[in-house]
Structure 1
Amino acid sequence: MSVPLLLDMAAAVHGDRVALSLPDPLTFAGLNDLAGGGAALITAAGARHVIFAGANGPAFTVALFAAARAGVPLTPLNYRLAAPELRRLAGQLPGPYIVADAESHAALAGLSENIVTGTEFVRAAAAASGAPAGEAPVGPDDTAVVLFTSGTTSAPKGVVLTHANLSAYVLQTVELGSAAPEDCALVGVPPYHVAGIAAVLTNTYAARRTVHLPRFTPEDWLETVRAQRVTNAMLVPTMLARITEHLAGAPARTPTLRALSYGGARMPATVLERALAVFPDTGLTHAYGLTETSSTIAVLGPEDHRAAIASSDPAVRARLGSVGIPVPGVEIEIRLPDGARAPAGVAGELFVRGPQVSGGYVGTGSALDADGWFATRDRVWLDAGGYLFVEGRSDDTIIRGGENIAPAEIEDVLLRHEQVREAAVVGLPDEEWGERIAAVVVPVAGAQPVPEELREWVRARLRGSKTPALVAIRSELPYTPLGKLLRREVAADLLTALADSETSPRSSR
């Protein structure tokens, strides 16, 4: 199975259905024609790679399928990056054909003779749709997409996703043409996130109409859901947090919205509880995955959410903070530092295996071991019912006096304080304990929390060894555009502040 075949099959089953409705309706048959025309353009240019640098929209969908038809990898770049970083990433991709928005077009100028805007590309693809086919043979192990990781703990790496990886994910997720005629998906995640790729492929294979939201605001998102009668949507936690804050406890009034999935970063329990309240008639799904796994590998479905929120059993209630059950086709192992399998309730590193798992990187090859297992570097554990809980990245774990401490546990406690809007917990070097716990909080509007009172708040709910030695107040926390906390920047800020306080002259009394 290949990416072009996914579109071929959708067009064969529901060719007259609308695939993309904005700015102008485009059917699946029409999308198939545009993909063929785009492939002809890419082939004629002799391109070895297609770079897309812009917001989500019809041009991205056309570019994804056109590149696949031409047998050329596609890489969506983070168009929000500064020009030097954007050029550095693009410079790793040989022979590019570049499709970019106006700002990125200027930033990438000179890197290729073939650089066009999204509008120009779609227009040219339409004109070339009757030209001789630019289609190339595509094998399952050929590269379909290269995605650069967010670089929260290290420099961004180019993850290689093959046609087989992406097709395996789609075939395990949706059935061909399974969407109802009235179904409509709203895509607000950017193209450079694996969820953006997955949204194009799964909605196409299901033959579901798609509406794009190029720039997210809570108001625009809600207005689009209502106006377009959206039935399915996917958000990252920061987006959902902003929507619930905007609604301020009022119902969302989105009667057509049946399914709302979220993922891409850790979901604070407080945000999830607000979301369940303002979207009472919408089924929420937590989708957990990595770039290297072609998107989702575990799901906490709507019934799981409802059962957890309604349960008086603490173990069941706790599942609201899990990522659910592994999806079919994906094997998991949780390993202790000595390589042994972790029993239920004991945390270790997550290893995954399956046809949708890539583990390959540009320039370094495969990171899979001899048996096909990929080390995710996520620290996780399973409960007795098989629900998977993610504590965070292994690199984020604080080791204090030989004890492994998950920052997320402390952050969740801080977030339940009425004066705390956001919280981040990191480990700082300590001569006696190895690491000491430090927290940074962002207050709710108008609040002035006292650090020592926040320390006592944590101490009263967790044991003393998990109480932050330091609590700092800040006006904001550093995040990636998709809401992933940049812990290394939090730690660097705290260390700088501590160094400044130690070297600044003491005031005389």
Structure 2
Amino acid sequence: MSVSLLLEMAASSNPDRTAVVCDGVSGDVRLTTQQLSDLADGGAGVVAGTNARHVVYLGAGGMMLPLLIFAAARAGLAFTPLNYRLSADGIHALIRRLPEPLVIVDSRYREMFPEPTPLLMSSDEFLTAAGTTEPTTVVADPDDVAIVLFTSGTTSVPKAVELSHNNLTSYITGTVEFDSAAPTDAALICVPPYHIAGVSAALSNLYAGRTMVYLPDFDAREWVRLANAERVTTATVVPTMLERLVTVLETSHDKLPSLRNLAYGGAKVGLPLLRRALELLPDVGFVNAYGLTETSSTIAVLTPEDHRTAQAASDAVVANRLGSVGRPVPGIEVQIRDDDGSVVPPGRTGELFVRGPQVSGRYTGIGSVLDENGWFPTKDHAMLDEEGYLFIRGRSDDTIIRGGENIAPAELEEVLIEHPQVRDVAVVGVDDSHWGQAIVAVVVPSAGIDPDAEELRNYVRKSLRGSRTPDRVVFRDELPTTATGKVLRREIVRELLAAPAEH
């Protein structure tokens, strides 16, 4: 099944439904599913006329993201949205890794291309041409590459993940019911277009029949205003966005009367923040969605019912599930394996492996990393409980080896975040001549608080073994993160090594 069929189905079922709402150069833009489909047809003709072999987009998203996904698919080419937050050198380095790409760029990033480039168009030029060019449609093979996304590269050089039409459509058709949304349902989308969550939001909401309301430049107050103005019923945020929304809702006392579901993901959310959000929005169904680029988005979900059950539970086992990512979605199998590859029983931590038709596990220039039975190694440490709830314990690359003992930063972070004087925290390992690595807790204090480092160390010691007590506690105003809220641990370690020791 080709990705383009998702749009064909939506346009055939309800051609006059508003599909996309966003700010454009000349004001508010609203496209019906039929108008989006017609533009995608013309856009495919534009792409075909350039003889390019790949389509690249550098921009903030909005209507351009779904348009280019489908225009590229109908031209029979793969599509790559790039991280506009990178430097010009970083962006050009990624473009050089793609075969003869047509680059489409928003006007605000046009200065990154000072030299004349044959296969370069502004977003406005592309839109104009798409409205007048003869349509072209190529029927893609389901196994052809539809989307190539570069990983964030938080710990290494970004890898180019290849997602086939079959990977993406398997995820959508396996997790979303076609045309199931009410006529008034609307989704507020503010995740970056170059992230798998941005791609899957465009595909899943279109397939479900929701209007997609885009907010490319996130601002918490504008998010609340737009959610109410467009009567948004569902939305997806990353942890940093959720924190800012909670602050706005606490100070402004605004309500979100139309909102029914709020999904969050991209990185771990501290439980105190999540509990406060649940209190502020008692009528909203919260969804924790866990996934990876290589798995075409979500592979496990903590449902609204799971959230409220865990929030109200007196049983510690059930209450702890608020910190899980829920259970696997249909079509996904999971295994937890130890270092020798053996599957471990519930309650044991190991590396998470996943399998299913939505799982790609392919990289440009590397090929497939699936094992002989189709299992993908996520590099995430995880644990399954007796009821199949999945707990993510952090990346295997983040493991601290102190005195020969493996320590997951998440163990300490989950304790420290519960301290009332801690707003955010990241635990990292730094080279140490005695222990091999020392444990450093980098703490962002709660507003107006000046915590005592020794008190925080003692707080950890009361919950964990002494060997897991931070060797050092340092304080910062904020943690460096990606746009999706993932902590840039490599930057933290680099900064710590360059600075004098603190205690």
> TM-score range with shorter-chain normalisation?
over 0.9
Q: Select 2:106's aligned residue among 90, 101, 104.
A: 101
Alpha-carbon distance in structure 1 between the residues aligned to 2:65 and 2:197: 13
Instruction: Give how far 1:419 is off.
Output: 2.3
RMSD between superposed Cα atoms in Å:
1.5
2:343 maps to: 341
SS in 1 for 2:40: helix
Helix, strand or coil for the counterpart of 1:151? coil
1:53 corresponds to which residue? 58
Partners of 2:434 and 2:343 in 1: CA distance = 31
Report the Cα distance in structure 1 between the residues aligned to 2:151 and 2:246, rounded to whole angstroms.
Answer: 28
Q: TM-score, normalised by structure 1?
A: 0.95
- 1:3 aligned partner: 3
| Residues 161-172 of structure 1: pairs in structure 2 closer than 5 A | 161-172=163-174
Q: Distance in 1 between matches of 2:356 and 2:447?
A: 46
Secondary structure at the counterpart of residue 67 of structure 1: helix
* Alignment partner of 1:154 is 2:160: no
Aligned to 1:413: 415
Distance in 1 (alpha carbons) for counterparts of 2:129 and 2:252: 46
Corresponding residue to 1:69 among 74, 77, 81: 74
Q: CA deviation at 1:383?
A: 0.8
User: For residues 187 and 153 of structure 2, what CA distance do their matches in structure 1 show?
Assistant: 29
Cross-structure match for 1:125: 130
Q: CA deviation at 1:116?
A: 2.1
Shift of 1:98: 1.4
Q: Is the 8 A contact 1:60 1:118 kept in 2?
A: no
Maintained 8 Å contact 1:59/1:119: no
Amino acid at match of 1:198: S
Q: What corresponds to 2:431 in structure 1?
A: 429
The 2-side partners of 1:160 and 1:11 are apart by 27
Q: Deviations over 1:355-380 (max 9, x none)?
A: 10001111111111121111100000
Q: How far apart are residue 431 of structure 1 and its match?
A: 4.2
What corresponds to 1:468 in structure 2? 470
Residue in structure 2 matched with residue 139 of structure 1 by the alignment: 141
Distance in 2, matches of 1:248 and 1:197, equals: 31
Asked if 1:494 is matched to 2:499, the reply is no
Aligned letter for 1:454?
L
Asked whether the 8 Å contact 2:107–2:123 carries over to 1, the reply is: no
Give ranges in structure 1 of 5+ residues lacking alignment. Answer: 502-509
Displacement of 1:97 in angstroms is: 1.2
Q: Which residue of 1 aligns with 2:352?
A: 350
Any conservation in 1 of the 2:21–2:63 contact (CA below 8 Å)? Answer: no
Name the amino acid aligned to 2:499. A
Please list, as runs of the form range in 1=range in 2, the aligned pairs for 1:220-235 lying within 5 A after superposition: 220-235=222-237
Question: What does 1:289-304 align with in structure 2 at a 5 Å threshold?
Answer: 289-304=291-306
Partners in 2 of 1:92 and 1:257 — Cα distance?
A: 41
Structure 2 residue identity aligned to 1:281: D
- The corresponding residue for 1:441 is 443
- Could you tell which deviates more after superposition, 111-120 or 478-487? 111-120
Q: 1:15 deviation in Å?
A: 1.1
Instruction: Identify which of 346, 360, 363 aligns with 1:361.
Output: 363
Equivalent residue in structure 2 for 1:26, among 26, 31, 37: 31
Deviation per residue, 1:154-188 (Å, 9 max, x gap): 11111000100000000011111111100001100
2:94 alignment partner AA: L
Residues 35-69 of structure 1 show CA distances to partners (whole Å, capped at 9, x for unaligned) of 00000000011111111111121122111110010
Letter of the 1:115 partner, please give it. L
| TM alignment of 1:184-203, pairs within 5 A | 184-203=186-205
Runs of 4+ in 1 over 4 A off after TM superposition: 249-252
Pairing of 1:256-267 with structure 2 (within 5 A): 256-267=258-269
Q: Where does residue 507 of structure 1 map in the other structure?
A: none
Aligned to 2:25: none
Q: 1:204-223 maps to which residues of 2 (within 5 A)?
A: 204-223=206-225
Of residues 82, 87, 101 in structure 1, which corresponds to 2:87?
Answer: 82
Instruction: Tell me by how many angstroms 1:250 deviates.
Output: 6.7
Percent identity between matched residues is 54
Q: Is the 8 A contact 1:349 1:379 kept in 2?
A: yes
Contact 1:423 1:442 in 2 (8 A): yes
In the TM superposition, residue 434 of structure 1 has moved relative to its aligned partner by 3.4
Instruction: Return the offset for 1:495.
Output: 2.1
- The answer on whether the counterparts of 1:97 and 1:112 sit within 8 Å (CA) in structure 2 is no
Letter in 2 for 1:113: P
Corresponding residue SS for 1:319: helix
C-alpha deviation, 1:236, in angstroms: 0.7
Alignment of 1:358-397 (within 5 A): 358-397=360-399
189-198 vs 411-420, which moves further: 411-420
- The offset of 1:430, in angstroms, is 3.5
Alpha-carbon shift at residue 111 of structure 1 (Å): 7.5
Deviations 1:2-50 (A, max 9, x none): 1111110111111111111332321111111110000000001111111
- 2: CA distance, partners of 1:252 / 1:169: 35
SS at match of 2:125: helix
Distance in 1, matches of 2:253 and 2:393, equals: 31
Read off the aligned partner of 1:391 and give its amino acid letter.
Answer: R
Structure 2 CA distance for partners of 1:411 and 1:217, relative to 1, 3 Å = same
Mapped partners of 1:461, 1:112: distance in 2? 59
Deviations 1:330-357, CA, capped at 9 Å, x for gaps: 1111100011111111100011111100
Structure 1 residues 461-470 or 332-341, which shifts more?
A: 461-470
Q: How far off is 1:401 after superposition?
A: 3.5
**One-letter code aligned to 2:196:** V
How do 1:250-329 and structure 2 match up within 5 A? 252-329=254-331
Residue deviations 1:433-484 (CA, integer Å, cap 9, x gap): 4332111112223222121121112112323122101111122221112211
> Is 1:392–1:408's contact at 8 Å kept on the other side of the alignment?
yes
Give secondary structure in 2 for the equivalent of 1:248.
helix
- Give the letter aligned to residue 6 of structure 2: L
2: distance between equivalents of 1:457 and 1:40? 63
Deviates more, 1:144-153 or 1:362-371: 362-371
Name which of structure 1's ranges 30-39 and 457-466 shifts more when overlaid on structure 2.
457-466
Amino acid at match of 2:10: A
